[in-house]
Each structure stands twice: as structure tokens, then as C-alpha cells.
Chain A
Amino acid sequence: MMLSEQQQVDMFWYMLLARRLDERAWILHRQGKIAFHISGIGQEAAQVGAAFAVRKGEDWVVPYYRDLALMLYLGYTPREFMLSLMGKREEPSSGGRQMPSHWSLRRANVVSHSAPVATQTPHAVGIALAITMRREDKVVLTTIGEGATSQGEWYEAVNWAAIHRLPVIFMVENNHYAISEPIEKQMAVEGAAAKACGLGLEGIAVDGTDALAVYDVVARAVEKARRGEGPTLIEARMYRLTPHSSDDDDRSYRSRDEVEAHKRRDPLLRMRQHLEAQGWLGAERLQALEAEIKALVDAAVNEATQAPYPAPEEAAGPLFCSEVTHA
């Protein structure tokens, strides 16, 4: 499943868009213009690689809070991201109820998730169960951090999917830190992929800084799931290049040398060098992409800044739905 030149440049474009939006969020936070940001910097390659492997708008995606690049590919807009950061009314995930980056986008089959980790994994399995009951050939992609694979609900859900051979791809974005805790404090095995053998499904570790490698692995898992051959656990290994969130100070638990070493393996750099080596991305084209993205980010910030906040009394609801309008 080779991706064309255009597709690979598109991959880079989404990675770059996510990166520039994410960087702008940090700036807005330092300027006191937003209250909170949780970053996906360093994780864009795996997210975009996986995203390109699903059928956009048809397959279902159950993400976690670092998945900005994944969300952008699925149709979440820069403006919507900025609305979310600012808690504005038109923010589509929650109308300003949830903290930023707690995704939900019904038009893209992206299910709302909360903040307690691994709560979304059983939902992904339930969606896959329903897909199977309806004899459809859709699949579910669900993501999670490696720390969250310590949760009982994660094991329960993966176990269930394995028993019933459900069409789910469990992608662990192993960025090596759960806030301050390194992976050695989360698991005795080398990585989350090793957990698969105890649960009865295929487990694959892949270099999560290599978008094309992740795409290959996820695309094969998707095809397997579509054939009715069950779930796959994929661990994409990467590194969280920023603090956990805007409220965290990572200098208290990891050295600058360590972070700098990983910055030299930045997934964006890797993709850019690959495209350059192919002759698909010269300095001029890169400059054009950067300019295009900067304009998008600027416009998003401006529009979101001018957008209205929710009225205070909108906080009173909705408690209940009057009818089920989805699916």
C-alpha cells in the first residue's frame, strides 16, 4: 500500500499544521490569552500515519487528548481548535464545557471522551461490537497513552475485543512519560505491544516518529479487521517533546539533555528529510507550505478571538437528549 507523492506531502502538511497550531497554543498560553493547553508535539507522525490508514468519515475514531494531528486529518479545523482553547460557544466538541483537546466531532465519527484515562477504550470496543452486529465492514481506531494501559478498563476492553475478534485497532502512543512517570514505572514489559500476548491478539511495536512506517502497520491492521480477523494492538514509540500540559514543569523530572537528544529525532524533521530526499519538497515548496499554514493559524486565532463566549446560563444543560439523532 504505497502512498503517492501527493499523499505523502499531504501527510507532512497535516503534521506541520498540527505542530504550528500546537506551538501557537503555547504562545497564547504564555501571553495569558488561554487558560490551558495539552500538547501533541512529537506525536504527529504516528497520528497522521494512523489517520491515513482509515476511511475518513466512515470508520470510527475514539481518540485521546494529544491527537490534534489525527483530528485535523479527520476534518477538525484550525478555527475549531482555537475556539476550544478559548472556551468559545461554537467549539464543536462540547460548546465550551470540556477543557481544550477533549475531542468530539460527530460529523467525523469521533466520539466524545473524558479525562480519566482509558475510559474511552471500552467505548471503542462497543462501537466495534455494534458494527459487527450490523454486519458492516467499518473499523474503529482508538488511541491512548502508554500510561493509560495500566488501567483495568484498558485490559478489560482489549480482552473483550480479542475474545470476540472485533474490528478495532488499539494504537498506544508511547511517548515514554505519563506526566512525570517514565514507562518503567508503568509496566514491567518493554512496551505496551508486549501486553498483547497475554490478551490473545497481535501486538506490534513500530517507530512512531516514522509516519510511513506507522501507516503501513495500521493499514495492515485495518485490512485485517475489515476481513473479520480481529483486533490489533499497535504501539507507536515516540517522545513527548513538551511538558505534560501548560500546568506542568518537566524540568523537575527529566534532563534537558534527554529532551534535546529527542528533538534531534523530531518526527517532522524526519518526514521533511524523507520528502526532500525523494525530491518532493524543495525549499520553495516548504516555504509555501509554511506560509499557507501560518495564514491559516493566524486566521483561526483572529476568528476565534472574535467569536462569542457561551451565555452563562447555557451551563444549565443539556442534561438529557430528547431523541437519538446519531447512527
Chain B
Amino acid sequence: MPEMTLVEAIRQAMDEEMARDERVFIVGEDVGKRGGVFRATLGLYEKYGPERVIDSPLAEASIVGVGIGAALYGMRPICEIQFADFIFPAFNQIVNEAARMCYRSNGEWCVPLVIRAPYGGGIGGGLYHSQSVEAFFAHVPGLKVVIPSNPYDAKGLLKSAVRDPNPVLFLEPKKGYRLLRGEVPTEDYVVPIGPARVTRPGRDISLFAYGMMHYYALQAAEMVAAEGIEVEVVDLRTLAPVDRTTILESVRKTGKALIVHEDNLTGGYGAEIAALIAEEAFEALDAPVRRLCGPDVPGVPFSHPMQDWFMPNAPKIAAALRALAAY
């Protein structure tokens, strides 16, 4: 099994899906000759031509809206939003149109659409190239929200997303595009949308994370393991629909929960996990549920000292784990 980076796994998933199914096509800004600003579609324009790798006008609402139309006709579009920060002009199309189509038509129309968007900070991107947008979308019934944390999952989950008859928002941790490496089969496989995965078993604290934060969560778990704190790390992988069973099983085992995300705290996705645990596993808790999140400021600042202040990382997570272990 070859080792590859996150972005290479994502590219391979699209390449294989386009080869498998001629209805699959890519549309977005700079996805053609340029191969995408992160090179996620590198080489696909040359391989599949301008009809299936479409350089769109610089207008996100229509990237998604045109994708929806093509999906209604039976195509399988993969829409790329260049940065998740730019997704808001398409918010109406995603939330009001793609997500509500099946329900509002009583199942007559479905939207087999994938929207890929790089998200997250720590890359010197400032307010508008660093955002985490998952909470806005995980709130919406009718939409699936997937965030891979490693190349293997990224390839398998993206293939599942392309084959799903429903709209899937696929958020890619951009800081991990070249940092996250791992073995990826060259043959066809899928990772189902829905199940979370316990990536490190432990008995003392459940640590819930996704995307880039999962990488730091594993590092933090390793750091505190030397001090005798055994952390169970759960990679959520899919925020909607969320894997309630795996989350609750883990908390019932450990009795303590820490949720980590880089999106800001208030109304963030961690609140939903905390509420789920409080409602369903209250009697198993030995400590209050804790959240370690980005601070409630309007964005990730550009200047490095301020960016570092914003971003959760392994030492911050380790500190939160120690505090929770001591409770």
C-alpha cells in the first residue's frame, strides 16, 4: 500500500470516481488547468477534459446552484468551493435548495451532489482563509457533513459521498493536505458515511475530535499517556448524521469527555456532542463535559502570535486532559 498525503488521496478518489462513472464531473474556481489552488484536481483536466473539469465563474452561489441543477438531471457533480470561508454566497443554495429538496418534493427529487471545501486555520490565512464552517451546516436536516482526518478515510469517504444520492458537504482540513500522510490502497474501497472510529482506545477520558484537531488529539493522548492518563480518542468523521452509539459507548466506559474543535466555542459542534452526552449518558459521567475550542472572536488572525493564541494544539489539549483527569 503506497503512502500518500491527504490531498493526494482526495485527488485519487475523484480520479477513480470519474473513471468509474461518466456522470461524475468537477466544477469550481481554478479547478481546470491550474488543478485547483491546493492542487486537489491536478491532472484531471488533462485526463478528463474541460467538459468534466469545469472552470467556473467566480461566483459560489452558482457553483452550487448549477451543480444542483445538473444533479437533478441525474449527473453527479463535485463542486469545489475554493476556501470554506467563501461558501456563504452559496449558503442559500446549500441550505434552502440542496438540503431541502428531498423533503420539500416529498422524495420526488434528490440531489446527488458533493461540495468540497478546504477549511481550518493554522496556515497564516487570516480571517478569510482559515474558517471552520461545520456548525452552520451540521444544523441543517437533509445535509450530510463529513470531515476526514487522514488520507485513508478521505479517499473512502469521498467515494461514499460521490455515490450518495443526497447532498454531502465534504470539509477538508487544509493544514493537513500535505501534513497528514498515511497508507492508502490503490484499489477501490469506500468508508461509509456515518460511523465514527475509535482511533486510540483508553479507559480514563473520551476525547472527541475531527479533521485537523484529531491529529493533535492523538499527539496529546500520547503526551499524557506517559503520565498514566489513558485517553480514548474518537474521530467523529461524520458530523451529520452523527454516530451517537460510538460516542455514548465511549463515554459510558470512561466517564469523562473532552471535545475539541477549532471552530469557536459558542454554538459550535461541540455543544451538540455535550448535549447528547448530558441527555443520554448523564449517569455515567464522573466530571463535567469539557470543550476546548477556538475562542469566540470573529476570525483567526493573520499575525503568527495571534494565530497561535487562537488555534487549539497538542499542548493545549494535553493541558485540558490533565485538568479533566484530575477532576
Interface residues of A (CB under 8 A from B): 60, 62, 92-95, 97-98, 102, 104, 106, 111-112, 114, 116, 119, 121-131, 133, 152-153, 156-157, 159-160, 163, 317-327
A58 to chain B, nearest CB (A): 13
Q: A130-B69, A327-B72 are in contact. Are A97 and B92 (CB under 8 A)?
A: no
Task: Digitize B87-115: 1 where CB-to-A-CB distance is under 8 Å, 0 elsewhere.
Answer: 00100110011001111111111101000
Further contacts, 7 of them, CB under 8 A, given A321-B165, A326-B74: A122-B65, A122-B93, A123-B69, A130-B74, A157-B66, A160-B56, A326-B72
B70 CB–A CB distance under 8 Å: yes
B308 to chain A, nearest CB (A): 37
Complex contact A131–B62 (CB within 8 A): no
A166 to chain B, nearest CB (A): 9
Nearest residue (CB) in B for A107 is B108
Complex contact A324–B110 (CB within 8 A): yes
17 pairs from A and B in contact (CB 8 Å cutoff): A93-B105, A94-B104, A106-B108, A119-B96, A119-B97, A123-B68, A123-B69, A130-B73, A152-B89, A156-B61, A156-B62, A318-B103, A318-B106, A319-B142, A323-B165, A324-B110, A326-B109
Interface residues of B (CB under 8 A from A): 25, 51-52, 56-57, 59, 61-62, 64-75, 77, 89, 92-93, 96-97, 100-110, 112, 141-142, 165-166
Q: A97-B106, A116-B96, A321-B110 are in contact. Are A126 and B69 (CB under 8 A)?
A: yes
Tell me which of A126, A317, A323 contacts B65 (CB under 8 A): A126
- Minimum-distance CB pairs A-B, first 8: A126-B69, A122-B65, A327-B74, A321-B110, A95-B106, A130-B73, A156-B62, A123-B69
Q: A319-B102, A320-B142 are in contact. Are A106 and B73 (CB under 8 A)?
A: no
Please report the C-alpha to C-alpha distance between residue A23 and residue B108 in the assembled complex, in whole angstroms. Answer: 29
Chain A residues with Cβ below 8 Å from B105 are: 93-94, 104, 106, 112
Please report the C-alpha to C-alpha distance between residue A321 and residue B71 in the assembled complex, in whole angstroms. Answer: 13
Chain B residues with Cβ below 8 Å from A125 are: 62, 65-66, 69
Please report the C-alpha to C-alpha distance between residue A321 and residue B104 in the assembled complex, in whole angstroms. Answer: 12
Q: A104-B108, A163-B57 are in contact. Are A156 and B65 (CB under 8 A)?
A: yes
A207 to chain B, nearest CB (A): 30
Complex contact A319–B103 (CB within 8 A): yes
Chain B residues with Cβ below 8 Å from A326 are: 72, 74, 108-110
Please report the C-alpha to C-alpha distance between residue A128 and residue B68 in the assembled complex, in whole angstroms. Answer: 12
B50 to chain A, nearest CB (A): 10
A156 to chain B, nearest CB (A): 4
Please report the C-alpha to C-alpha distance between residue A59 and residue B61 in the assembled complex, in whole angstroms. Answer: 25
Please report the C-alpha to C-alpha distance between residue A116 and residue B69 in the assembled complex, in whole angstroms. Answer: 16
Tell me which of A119, A133, A322 contacts B93 (CB under 8 A): A119
Tell me which of B66, B103, B104, B141 contacts A126 (CB under 8 A): B66
B126 to chain A, nearest CB (A): 25
Chain A residues with Cβ below 8 Å from B52 are: 133
Complex contact A133–B51 (CB within 8 A): yes
Complex contact A123–B61 (CB within 8 A): no
Complex contact A157–B102 (CB within 8 A): no
Complex contact B73–A327 (CB within 8 A): yes
Q: A152-B89, A327-B74 are in contact. Are A122 and B107 (CB under 8 A)?
A: no
